[in-house]
Amino acid sequence: MLTMTQINYIRNLYYNEGKSKAEISRITKVDVKTIRKYIEKEDFNSKIVKPHNYGVSILDPFKEIIDKWIVEDKIMRKKQRHTATKVYSRLCKEHSYKGSYRTVTDYFKARKQDIWNQSSSSLPLLHSAGEMQVDFGAIQFWNKSELVDGFSLNVTFPFSNAGYIQIFRGQNQQCLFEGLINIFRHINGIPKRIWFDNMSTAVKRVSRGKERDLTDEFSRFKNHFNFDTAFCNPASGNEKGSVENKVGYLRRNLLVPAPIVDNIKSFNKLLLNMCDEDLNREHYIKGTLISDLHKLDKDNLLNLPLTEFDSSLIKILKADKCGRFILESKFRYSSAPKFAGENLRIKIGATDIIVLDSNLKEIVTHDRLYGDLPSELINWLPYLTQLSRYPRAIKYSGIYELFPLKISEQLKELNEEKEKQIFRFMAEVTEDKGFEKALQITEECLDKNISSLDNMKMYLKSRLDKYPKVEKLRLNNNQPAVKEVSPNIGVYDALLTVNRRGN
């Protein structure tokens, strides 16, 4: 199996340098079938070559036209690119060219090699329509009533000065991928070249010059969407100054005051619409609406791939005796009690952690934890459901240790049937009101010696004020006074006496 570096090289030869599969096979010593396999997945890379010098010829007035067609071909699939024959035909028909076919062919082949092998840092293409720059910035926002530190993923199109923003709790690889995919879908295309700094989520090692050793995950992402990459020189953020400025602009204009974010994914959709509205203003230099300039960016985008890209990361982790596992050395999550001590498949996303079984079926989903301090998330529903069925079977498995001490001690004093009813009650309350409310009500019931399922439900209803309150009847001042009546109970006693004698 080829490494991602080798795959990138092969795809670069094919897509950027126009080499045939047979030529690539001779260059790389790799079988043609393998070459075809990885070419169909997509990707390219640019190299700096010395440009050719050309003398004066009859073709000179037409060279700019040919160059334009060659550049436009860079966003086209191989079968829809110009050949030398097609260039010659178009020049004759559309521009009344009178020169020879050989002159066109020689220029076209040499010039195509020059243009397709231009350096990623070539100044003439630095701000061409359709190119994008990417950067993260530090932000704060309110999440579930807590002011949290987070990051904004910012992109800008230097040609038009259009910008987009997405927010996350971190700046890891999943946040980078998810944010870019959201933006790709929103603008309905892929920028032909994207500028990055040397972020660790993309770059394993900075080599000499412009070469970068990319992480395997970033290489797969790049290959899937088929964009070219350009990386800044170390400590040279000014090389992507457009997005550096946009980080502060979007933060000031869209995130002040700090937004209240209940669901990051939903809020990110809203942010993209807000960014669209921000485009309806004049460019600071060009005197044209940014939205109009951005249309030219969109005209130069690559098509979205037909296959969706899963931005999450899959890891295999072993659960402890309670079915929990640890990520990033400090964040502990639950699975289910039946998976205690087993290997788990963990799907790690930007905002959530999904536990999968051996059939890749979802077991439980957690919000992804972020921050500097160790934290734990337990989804209690699988535990409570299991306990309601087999409380004794897992009593000494360690799961009881997860409960507050007072409740775990009280549970140990009950028989198995009462334990089942209590756990079933807790499961129902947890699903409806959350685990904290279930703990609170259960503790109150146990303090009052209420342990049957029906009685616990009745107590819960009374605590939640679900019974309708009957208001005291109020009479107006016009109601006549009613004489108080005192019943004569002795009449009933006399009747009872008569009935007994008759019997």
Does domain 132-299 bear CATH number 3.40.710.10?
no
Between strands 193-196 and 132-143, the pairing is parallel
Q: Is the pLDDT of residue 308 over 70?
A: yes
pLDDT of 224-235, one tens digit each? Answer: 999 988 887 665
The amino acid sitting at 465 is: D
Q: 374 pairs with which residues across the strands?
A: none
pLDDT of 449-465, one tens digit each? Answer: 888 888 888 888 887 76
In the chain, the percentage of residues whose pLDDT exceeds 70 is: 84
Cα gap 54→314, rounded to integer Å: 54
Q: Is the pLDDT of residue 437 over 60?
A: yes
124: preceding bond cis by omega (within 30 degrees): no
Looking at every residue in the chain, the average pLDDT score rounds to: 82
Average pLDDT over residues 330-347: 90
3-state secondary structure of 480: coil
Average pLDDT over residues 271-294: 92
pLDDT band at 309 (very low <50, low <70, confident <90, very high): very high
Average pLDDT over residues 243-268: 92
pLDDT of 347-369, one tens digit each? Answer: 999 999 999 987 888 889 999 99
Neighbours of 40 (CB within 10 A): 8
Q: How big is the chain by its Cα radius of gyration, in Å?
A: 35
Nearest alpha-carbon partner for 200 in 173, 221, 165: 173
Among the residue ranges 215-219, 308-312, 369-373, 448-452, the one predicted with the least confidence is: 448-452
Cα gap 224→209, rounded to integer Å: 26
302 phi, psi to nearest 5 deg: -80, 155
pLDDT of 82-122, one tens digit each? Answer: 888 988 999 999 888 888 898 888 888 888 877 776 443 33
pLDDT of 5-31, one tens digit each? Answer: 788 788 778 877 888 888 888 888 888
pLDDT band at 169 (very low <50, low <70, confident <90, very high): very high
Higher pLDDT: 332 or 488? It is 332
| Range list for CATH 3.30.420.10 in the chain | 132-299
